[in-house]
């Protein structure tokens, strides 16, 4: 996998708690793509890509970024870009970066509109969710692009660190869902 797939896979892992509260039905495919980024290709990638494309087609075009389907479709699009590598590297980089940024900007918009930033779950957070993602992404890029780095090992370490933060990220995802007035599924902390 190239650097854009690796950093995109880690971004997808950070999106997961939000996807859980949206009731996303294709998390298994996204999880498989995230896990497969540490190898040369995603095992069974073509089938996963086809499944995600079909799911996005079912969702259709979305104009409302407060709709849970917007977040599901955006993440599916990132997963497809990460796994497919059909586009030239520069195009993929731009699309992955902009889609991930739009995802987190939309979360920030929902939090702002719903008063979420004043909630206890946001104590200690000194930036927006997009800002947090940008900080993580910069760190991902710096570590994974070091000359001579064991990219697979570093990716696995970063992924483990992200997953260890899921309890806090799930709390924040629930606040986003409450601000958006989504009917959320029950998820474990």
Per-residue pLDDT tens for 48-94?
Answer: 899 999 988 888 777 788 899 999 999 999 999 999 878 888 888 89
CA proximity to 152, closest of 48, 29, 40, 19: 40
Lowest pLDDT segment from 4-8, 41-45, 118-122: 41-45
Residue 114 predicted with pLDDT over 60? yes
Q: Is 132 left (phi over 0), alpha (psi -120 to 50) or beta?
A: alpha
pLDDT at 141: 94
- Residues in contact with 8: Cβ distance below 8 Å, sequence separation at least 6, in sequence order: 37, 78, 81, 82, 96, 100
pLDDT at 187: 56
- The rounded Cα 45 to chain-centroid distance in angstroms is 18
- Residues in contact with 151: Cβ distance below 8 Å, sequence separation at least 6, in sequence order: 6, 38, 144
pTM over 0.95: no
Query: Of residues 59 and 102, which shows the higher confidence score?
Result: 102
């Amino acid at each position: 996998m190239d650097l854009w797939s690796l950093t995109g896979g880690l971004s997808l892992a950070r999106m997961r708690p939000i996807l859980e509260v949206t009731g996303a039905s294709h998390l298994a495919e996204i999880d498989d793509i995230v896990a497969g980024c540490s190898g040369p290709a995603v095992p069974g990638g073509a089938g996963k890509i086809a499944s995600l494309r079909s799911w996005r087609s079912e969702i259709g075009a979305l104009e409302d970024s407060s709709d849970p389907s917007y977040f599901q479709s955006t993440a599916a699009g990132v997963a497809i870009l990460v796994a497919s590598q059909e586009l030239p590297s520069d195009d993929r980089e731009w699309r992955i970066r902009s889609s991930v940024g739009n995802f987190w900007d939309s979360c920030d918009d929902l939090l702002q509109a719903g008063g979420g930033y004043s909630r206890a779950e946001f104590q200690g957070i000194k930036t927006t969710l997009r800002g947090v993602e940008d900080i993580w992404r910069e760190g991902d890029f710096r570590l994974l692009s070091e000359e001579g780095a064991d990219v697979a090992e570093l990716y696995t370490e970063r992924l483990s660190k992200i997953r260890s933060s899921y309890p806090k990220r799930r709390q924040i995802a629930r606040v986003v869902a409450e601000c958006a007035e989504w009917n959320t599924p029950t998820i474990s902390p």
